[in-house]
Amino acid sequence: MIGKILGDRYEIIEEIGSGGMAIVYKAKCKMLNRVVAVKVLKDEFKKDESIVSKFNRESQAAASLTHPNIVSVYDVGRDNDDYYIVMELVQGQNLKDYIRENPKMDWRQALKYAMQISSAIAHAHRNGIIHRDIKPHNIILSKDGNCKVADFGIASMNKNAETQRINEGIMGSVHYISPEVAKGKIGDEKSDIYSLGVTIYELLTGVVPFDNENPVSVALMHINQTPKAIKDINIAVPLVLVQIVNKAMHKDAAQRYQSANELYKALYAISNEPDYFTAEPETGSDAKNHTITIDTKTVREEMEKSASDTTEKEEIITESDFTEEPEQKTPEDVVKVDIDDSKERKKEKRKKGFLTDLFQVNNPKDKVAIIAAVIVSLIMIGTVLGIAVGVLFPGGGTSGDGEFVIPEFTGKNINEVTEEYKNTELKITIVKEFDEDTPADIIIHQNVPKDKKVKLPYEIKLTVSRGEREIILSSYINKEARQVELEINELGLTYAEKEEFNEEIPVGYVISQDPLPGEEVEDGDKITFVVSKGADNELVEVPELVGLTEAQAKSRLTDYEFVLGGIIRKPSNEPEGTVIEQSAPAGSELIKKSKITLTLSNGKKQNQDEDKPSSSDGDTTSENKPSTNKQSDEDTSVTVKKYNLALTLPEGKEEVEVKVVQDGETVYNKKVSTKSKNLNITLEGNGNHSIVVYYDDMLVKTQKIKI
């Protein structure tokens, strides 16, 4: 591939990476004279029309994404049998490598990366694109310290491969897989949110929440186990950030954030939290050369008012790391002020204050007049300030040193509070959440406790109730009924169940639900689920098939609700096509839909003495003649053989239900103990067969075997 020119435009320079479905090359665009990255679909996928079609469709969709935290896609094309995507070449390293090198990064830095990634995913979701393979490996950390999400398109079109077939080249994705995808479902926006939560967990702790050498065990951990608490690994992480990650990683998709944008907003709220990001002034020697972060909007207003004052030394740095979405706030700029210099200036001003000038007045009468005027002015100012505090801050007030005392907001109506403080320097940020115990618009939490003294201007965050939550039903189809019952009860709904036979859905799993997924319900509503009883196990007597023709036997099997398992042909004196054996004897009983194999005569068995020609004919005897009947040779060689299927059982559970499907037929379905770690299953057949293995109804392996 090196040296090849794709589309008469992109000259391949070197290979720089390889993934599950594509190889990434560094290339030069001859038209624009710039270096780019070219991702080429691997050879083994080029002949799969469905993959190629999805590759083209999803790649073109990804090319429409324009976002500062998404790797830009410049072009999509095909050169003979080479399907490729041309992308921005980002100088840097992937986030996984960075985490390995910096396992104990500051949580504020992790928050910054988490905001950038969630903003990128939110942008993609709004444009109808699901990533389906979010992990640090697919996120590039550029040299300027910004995250860029890559592999849109390839991940989303690879629905039936990487994220579902746990044992086939998953390359680390199983550590970030959502529980529903681990169970074999197609990933959606909520699955992206779960994977994003796992990524943030790793940013904060330096480790993945679940790990094991066996990928299947890791997948089962996502379904059944709770990860180690973040604060047990990194005590410095604020509880509010821990709660955000836990919600994003909720095993029930319905309990996660409803969108990536909602997750972004939750993270952004922390970044605006003054208790975490506003440094308290230091005293003593520790304050020397210290830099604090303040709001530049206020600084700029003051600078405009006093443009002539050029003694201040300040450096303004615009923070543009975070994305700018129409519905999101843009994080405020950051200004750095040298405290040491400002303190010296204040000292100089104190030295040259008003009183110094006053006592330099020579005329005693003038001094008395000036002092009297000052006293009267101070009395008037104190009176006005007292009235102003009572009017502007009825619920709070100033302490003796001029600080504002935070009042009790919890339990008050947010509309009344905002009206009361709208013309003050107390800025109120509102966060709303559902609370079934609190009426709508009532404040249920304040991030700054009452009676705390703060200096104005100041920002406080108030959490306001949205009232009872609207319950939108999720899809419970193909879920285990007992788990569904628990989830329904937790939602305050009433669980009802009906049972019916079903060959497709395993015993105890939901076939359908009423009301349907997506419908709105109220507390106490009854939700009825139809649960599978498995296949109909009614016993049916096997009919006599020997002596019938092939067509007659097939018709008889259908009449008795049996399935033809296969046909074996053997030499026989019976007419060709006549049934000479059946795998289940007539009169025995089998479950409906059981398979019965028929053995048919090929009519080739003859008396060898009658078949031999006279030696006087001079012809070669039939024993020496090469066979001219190809069908006869093949028929006589067909026999049922055995094959040993060796399986490695997953860890983390005492027992697991193992199901093996051979050529579409379930040939093994049992619960087994995992203590032995290995399981050997004997299969029967002849020739090539397709094998599919499930652990607890989760697809873990597909295999082609020859018996």
Calculate what percentage of the chain has a pLDDT beyond 70. 73
Calculate helix-pair angle for 260-271, 239-248, nearest 10 degrees.
170
Calculate what percentage of the chain has a pLDDT beyond 90. 31
Band the pLDDT of 481: cuts 50, 70, 90. Answer: confident
Q: How far apart are CA 28 and CA 25, in angstroms?
A: 10
What is the structure's pLDDT at 340? 38
What is the structure's pLDDT at 338? 36
311 has a pLDDT exceeding 50: no
Band the pLDDT of 216: cuts 50, 70, 90. Answer: confident
- Local structure of 407: helix, strand or coil: coil
What is the structure's pLDDT at 255? 93
Q: How far apart are CA 517 and CA 616, in angstroms?
A: 85
State how far the alpha carbon of 179 is from the alpha carbons of 163, 185, 225, 479, in Å: 11, 9, 10, 12
What is the structure's pLDDT at 319? 32
DSSP state of 584: S
Strands (E), 303-457: 314-317, 334-338, 397-398, 404-405, 426-433, 443-446, 453-454
DSSP letters spanning 409-436: -TTSBHHHHHHHTTTSSEEEEEEEE--T
Band the pLDDT of 6: cuts 50, 70, 90. Answer: very high
Sign of CA dihedral 54, 55, 57, 58: positive
Please tell me the least confidently modeled range out of 106-110, 543-547, 695-699. Answer: 695-699
> Between residues 687 and 252, which one has the greater pLDDT?
252
681 and 645 in contact (C-beta within 8 Å)? yes
What is the structure's pLDDT at 376? 56
pLDDT in tens, 280-289: 333 333 333 3
What is the structure's pLDDT at 403? 81
300 has a pLDDT exceeding 70: no
What is the structure's pLDDT at 413? 94
Amino acid residing at 112 = K
- Local structure of 340: helix, strand or coil: helix
What is the structure's pLDDT at 35? 94
> Between residues 246 and 299, which one has the greater pLDDT?
246
Token couple for 509? 């799993």
Instruction: Using alpha carbons, select from 305, 58, 306, 269 the residue that is nearest to residue 158.
Output: 58
What is the structure's pLDDT at 374? 57
pLDDT in tens, 565-580: 888 888 888 889 999 9
Amino acid residing at 181 = V
Token couple for 418? 């905002």
DSSP letters spanning 636-696: HH---EEEEEEEEPPSSSSEEEEEEEETTEEEEEEEEESTT-EEEEEEEESSEEEEEEEET
Sign of CA dihedral 566, 571, 572, 575: positive
> Between residues 313 and 674, which one has the greater pLDDT?
674
pLDDT in tens, 335-375: 333 333 333 444 444 444 444 444 444 555 555 555 665 56
Q: How far apart are CA 290 and CA 662, in angstroms?
A: 71
133 is catalytic: yes
Number of residues written out for the chain:
707
Burial of 221 (0-12, 13-18, 19+ CB in 10 A): buried
117 has a pLDDT exceeding 60: yes
From the candidates 82, 106, 133, 340, give the one annotated as an active-site residue: 133
Q: How far apart are CA 14 and CA 272, in angstroms?
A: 44
pLDDT in tens, 37-77: 999 988 888 888 777 877 776 677 677 788 889 998 888 88
pLDDT in tens, 124-175: 988 888 888 899 999 999 988 899 998 775 444 443 333 333 433 343 479 9
pLDDT in tens, 433-467: 777 778 889 999 999 998 899 998 999 999 998 88
342 and 299 in contact (C-beta within 8 Å)? no
531 has a pLDDT exceeding 70: yes
558 has a pLDDT exceeding 70: yes
Q: How far apart are CA 442 and CA 466, in angstroms?
A: 8
